[in-house]
Amino acid sequence: MTIGINATAALKQPRTGVEQYTYQLIKHLTMLPEARKHRFLLYVRPGSTFDFSLPDNFIVKELKWSLPIFWTQVRLAWEMWRRPPEILFIPVHILPLFAPKNSVVTIHGLEYEYFPKHYPWLHRWYLRWSTRRAVKHAAKIIAISECTKQDLVKFYEAAAKKIEVVYHGIDIEKHKFQNPNYKQNTNSKIQKDKPYILYLGRVETKKNIQGLLDAYKILKEEYGVPHQLVLAGVPGYGYQEIKLKIENCKLEIKELGYVTEEEKRYLLSNADVFLFPSFYEGFGLPVLEAQAAGVPAVISLTSCLPEVAGEGALYVNPQNSAQIAEAVKKVIDDSVLRDRLRQLGLENTRRFSWELCAKKTLEALKDACESL
């Protein structure tokens, strides 16, 4: 079987969210013995290179295109019209024009349906159009959680039998690792003599950063906690509004922007609490990363987060900043609770691996081919 993969997201820097998913998925597909039976075509832009070795059955196909936009909808589509593979796999939900009928698409979440105001109108329109098209034309859809699967049925009337749930993975040992060489580099951005509460993810309105800031204000002014608040992640939609709120808070809030994988592991390993009160997540990989690092987590009781985090987190209503603050204070004060959350969190992460994600994805690709 020849499997074509839109691999462009795997080569983007910095890698967040769907880019990390695509990168890890392709990397672990190359390691699967059962993948050796198949031929993989990795469609990329010119000049792209992978930082891991590719077996002989993984062939990089550079598709030349002079414009910075429309690569998927024009250049990849043209390739599909001229030389379609037996199966086309799109890890980032946007099916190209002229996509072959034997296509498989991963859908990463439907946040824009629940919180449309947190998306620019053109982006929201494109997400709806591309999701509707994927539901209609793809032979099979991979949803990254049961929650996402149910949302596809709810909003797009997708056939449940057409949807396969395949969770993201995590390298538990990797996230347990703490590199002392990064202690000075990362910690120089925060006060070394103070503990901190950590948020990790894109800094944007749909992640409920405003509610997080309100909760932190309560923690400082009403509970008197000594902790700093550290926000690690690149700015997203609505950041200017968030930045103004941060400036008006006049509290110990440190923005680190993008952090490397090793910096991230250090920050997680030394945080007292991981706080993630997002309104909606398709999967919530930062929560698993925090659990793997042994950080007690306070997260939203919304969307897929209970499904992913299991019993290894303290859940809150993201609309209630007072409740968020109370939960964080409880974790800070209660050592028994902290130890329980750490233990349950570590146990929970054992359900997930990139190897399992790659295996189940390959099975879905084979099922799509056999069903046609």
Backbone phi and psi for residue 327, each to the nearest 5 degrees, phi listed first: -65, -40
Q: Is the pLDDT of residue 368 over 80?
A: yes
Residue 320 amino acid letter? N
Count the Cβ atoms, other than its own, within 10 Å of residue 53.
8
Q: Write out the E strands in 211-346.
A: 228-232, 253-257, 273-276, 297-300, 314-316
User: Are 2-169+353-370 and 172-349 in the same CATH fold?
Assistant: yes
Span 135-192, pLDDT tens digits: 999 999 999 999 999 999 999 999 999 999 999 999 876 666 444 444 444 445 555 5
d(C-alpha 365, C-alpha 102), whole Å: 9
Backbone phi and psi for residue 360, each to the nearest 5 degrees, phi listed first: -70, -35
Q: Are 175 and 292 in contact (CB under 8 A)?
A: yes
C-alpha distances out from residue 335 to 90, 223, 313, 341, Å: 45, 17, 14, 10
d(C-alpha 67, C-alpha 72), whole Å: 11
pLDDT for 176? 60
Q: Is the pLDDT of residue 258 over 80?
A: yes
pLDDT for 190? 59
| 119-149: burial string, b at 16+ Cβ within 10 Å, e else | beeeebeebbebbebbbeebbbbbbbbebbb
Count the Cβ atoms, other than its own, within 10 Å of residue 248.
10
Residue 322 CB partners (closer than 8 Å, separation 6+): 215, 218
Q: Is the pLDDT of residue 3 over 90?
A: yes
Q: Which two tokens stand for residue 126?
A: 């494109």
- Domain spans of the chain, in order of start: 2-169+353-370, 172-349
pLDDT for 269? 87
Q: Are 242 and 203 in contact (CB under 8 A)?
A: yes
pLDDT for 72? 92
Query: Which 3 state secondary structure label does DSSP give 8?
Result: helix
Q: Is the pLDDT of residue 327 over 50?
A: yes
Residue 299 CB partners (closer than 8 Å, separation 6+): 274, 275, 276, 277, 278, 284, 287, 305, 309, 313, 314, 315, 316
Superfamily, domain 2-169+353-370: Glycogen Phosphorylase B; (3.40.50.2000)
Count the Cβ atoms, other than its own, within 10 Å of residue 336.
7
Residue 244 amino acid letter? L
pTM: 0.91
Determine the topology of domain 172-349 in CATH: Rossmann fold (3.40.50)
Mean of the pLDDT values across residues 215-239?
96
